[in-house]
Structures are given as structure tokens and as C-alpha cells.
Structure 1
Amino acid sequence: MKNLLLPAVICLLFGWQSANCVEIIEIRVDIINGRYHVFGQSHLDASAEFIYETLIDYDNFHKLADGIAITNFLPPDEPGRLLAFSRFKSCILFFCKTVEKHEYIEGNPYNSINVQAIPERSDFSFNESRWLIETTDGKTLLTYEAEFEADFWIPPLIGPWAVHRKLARTAELVGSRIEWMYARGLTLSQISN
């Protein structure tokens, strides 16, 4: 019930129909051997093709979530390999840091997107993430998995709680925005910041 309250409020505030609001299934954050492991899963009312095309659009990805200042594709440093850059502000309570990542992106159209940060060009000593997209029961199941080790300080006692909170808010916002665009036939490139 708790996981459905925020999306319902978002839907009411922005005039989105409740039938078009994301359903969060599960969110987990663990620390294993000093690395954060995050897992999020939700059902969306949008096609797998639309979700894939939206998530792989790094030139406009920053429009999906608050706190992301810049995302864009860069000229590849290896032939045939997608290279991207992102900059976002990360805050845990009153500890804030601007974080940058250069990362390789590998897409398997309409099924998955794998992202691997380049440690020497990022604020992470390790960062890999994956989006999995599956159609089930007339909805699309979107799974996000990530493992990361930051090169910056994350308060140990509140870090997992803060990462979980941020992941939950971002999942609800991103999912609701994807559903809203899909229902209106819009793409990220048609949305202003």
C-alpha cells in the first residue's frame, strides 16, 4: 500500500490518470564487500519498445529524473561502442556532491541495456548497471540492477537508507514520466526540461 501512495499523489497532482501510473514491485539496497547492490522492479503501462527507446536516449535521458543535470552521447573511443557522459547531483541529507560518469552503453533492442562506468573517467571505482525489459500480463516489467563503489564518501550509517529512498523516488518519477509520454505519443526529445 505504501508503495502505491506516492504514485497516486503524483498522478493526482499532475492530472495523470491513475491507470497510467507506475506500480513499484520491489526495491532493495544491500552493501556486499563494500559495494552497493541495488535492485528495483516495476510494472509500466508502456510497450517494451517505447521503454527501451526512452532509456537508451542518453542525449535526452536527463529529462527523466530530477537531479540529473547532463546526459549525452560522446564520440566513441572504440568503433561500434556507445560512449556516454552524465553529471548529476547526489545528496545524502546535507552531504552533496556533483558526480560525473563516462560510461559504455550496450543495448539489446527492446530487451536490455547494460551500462559500465569507466573508473579512470568517473567518480566511481566501480559502477555497472542493467535495465531488463519484459512484457508480462499486458504490462511491461522493468527491472533495474546496479552494483557500484563510489570514489566519494557516503555516510555509512545512513547511506543504504538514503540510496533506497532516492531509488524509490526516482523509480516512481521515471516510471510515471515514461507512462505519461507513452499515453500521449511523446518522446523525450519532444519534452522540454
Structure 2
Amino acid sequence: MRVTRGLPLLLLTVLLTPGADAGESERASIEFHGRSYTYEFSAVLDAPRDAVHAVVTDYDHLERVNDSITDSHVIERYGDGALKRLLALKECILMFCFDITFVEDLVESADGIRTTIIPAESTFRDGHAEWRLEALGKDRTRMRIRATQTPDFWIPPLLGPLVLKRVFLREIRETSANIERLARASAAG
């Protein structure tokens, strides 16, 4: 199962301790409350804020930030930084694979990105996420993500949270490293 992103990102993206090539992890946590969970993540990426922003808002190409993403695209643009986005993922744990779909209303603002899951079109009962990108000088960015989601699929009560936590940590590492890599390449190019 995939527990990342509301990546613009994503995510959704997302996404915990990045390796040396993926900036510095400041905080990573996931907590379960009945059928819902809340995750928080904060890391400092070695890339300029504008370049990081460009990567996480490239909604038609989010598969570049995580290989679990099978589809990502804008469904409809409402104007003024608001849109409807699809983010589809396939996650395999042991021999079980899951297709997870986020259809979200998304609003971009100067200080970040906010997403709200549309339950009728998603594999979630509800959820929302907030992304914040903060410039730390010229070439570093603090990326903060906080999300609460309620899946519309069963998570085994004892084993599920442990497995989800492990998957979350792995996925956040990959996503952070890829966002940083893509943003650095864009800034250098």
C-alpha cells in the first residue's frame, strides 16, 4: 500500500530518512487513529525552492518522483491555481499488490499546495494534505508535508500499521531523493 503524497504529492508526495544524496530529514512520522492515519514529513533538500516547486507541480509527470506512481495528470483546471488531479499508484507488499487512486481538488498558493481527496472518485473515504516549500538561502529548500487520510480499503489492525509505516519510510526516501535530483538537474540546466 502506498501512504505518500498528497504530493501535489504530491505527494501524493509524498515519501523517511533520506540518504546523503537526498538532503536532510528533519521529521518523519505516521500515526494511526482507527481507520485513518496522519503523516508528517520535513526535509531540507539541496535544491532551489523554485526548482523544487516546479518538480512537485509538474502534475502530468509525477511518475518521475516515485516509481510506484502509474498515472498522474490534471483532469480539469478551475483557474487561479485550482485544479482537479488524478494520482494512481501500484504498491506491492510481499506478494500482494494494491492499486490506489487519489482524485483530488488541489489549490496552489504562494506558500504551498493544499489537496482534498474526492471520495467518490478515489480509494479513500476522505483526506487532505498540505505541502509547504520554504527557501533556505539560494540553493536549499525545506519541504514539509502533513496529511490525514482515511482509506476505503481494509488495513489489518495489527500488522497493517507496521507494514504501512515501513512502506511509508521507503517511499518517502525515494520520493525526496528524486525530487531533489530532478530539481538540482533543472536548476543546473
Sort the TM-score into its range (normalised by shorter chain).
Answer: 0.7 to 0.9
Q: Check 1:29–1:125 CA distance in 2 against 1; reply closer, same or farther (3 A cut).
A: same
CA deviation profile, 1:67-89 (whole Å, cap 9, x unmatched): 1100000134x565301112111
Range moving further from structure 2, 171-180 or 34-43: 171-180
Per the alignment, residue 116 of structure 2 pairs with: 116
Corresponding residue for 1:12? Answer: none
* Larger RCO of the pair (alpha carbons < 8 Å, separation 6+): 2
Residues 63, 186 of structure 1: alpha-carbon distance in 2 compared, 3 angstrom cutoff: farther
SS at 1:131's partner residue?
Answer: strand
* Correspondence for 1:58: 59
Q: State the partner residue of 2:4.
A: none
Contact kept, 8 Å, 1:27 with 1:164, in 2: the verdict is no
Amino acid of the structure 2 residue aligned with 1:133:
L
Partner of 2:25: 24
CA distance in 2 between partners of 1:184 and 1:84 (Å)? 25
Give the aligned residue type for 1:7.
G
What is the identity percentage for the equivalent residue pairs of Structure 1 and Structure 2? 24
- Residues 182 and 100 (structure 1), Cα distance of their counterparts in 2 relative to 1, 3 Å cut: closer
Query: Which residue is 1:14 aligned to?
Result: none
TM-superposed deviation, 1:66? 1.8
Q: Which amino acid aligns with 1:179?
A: E
Alignment root-mean-square deviation, CA: 2.4
- Correspondence 1:7 to 2:42: no
State how many pairs are aligned.
172
Does the CA contact (< 8 Å) of 1:126 and 1:150 recur in 2? yes
| Unaligned 5+ runs, structure 2 | 1-15
Bigger mean CA deviation after superposition, 86-95 or 61-70: 86-95
SS in 2 for 1:28: strand
Aligned residue number for residue 73 of structure 1: 74
Q: How many angstroms does 1:135 deviate by?
A: 2.3
CA shift for structure 1 position 92: 4.2
After superposing the two structures, state which structure 1 stretch, 88-97 or 161-170, moved more. 88-97
Cα distance in 1 for partners of 2:166, 2:73 equals 26
* Cα deviation digits, residues 126-180 of structure 1 (max 9, x gap): 1211111112366311111111111111122122222222222222222222222
Contact 2:102 2:121 in 1 (8 A): yes
Q: Which amino acid aligns with 1:112?
A: G
Question: Bigger radius of gyration, 1 or 2?
Answer: 1
Q: TM-score, normalised by structure 1?
A: 0.78
Q: Which has the higher helix share?
A: 1
Moved over 6 A (4+): none
Q: Tell me if the contact between 1:21 and 1:175 (Cα under 8 Å) persists in the aligned partners.
A: yes
Q: Which residue type is aligned with residue 55 of structure 2?
A: T
CA distance in structure 1 between the partners assigned to 2:91 and 2:182 by the alignment:
26
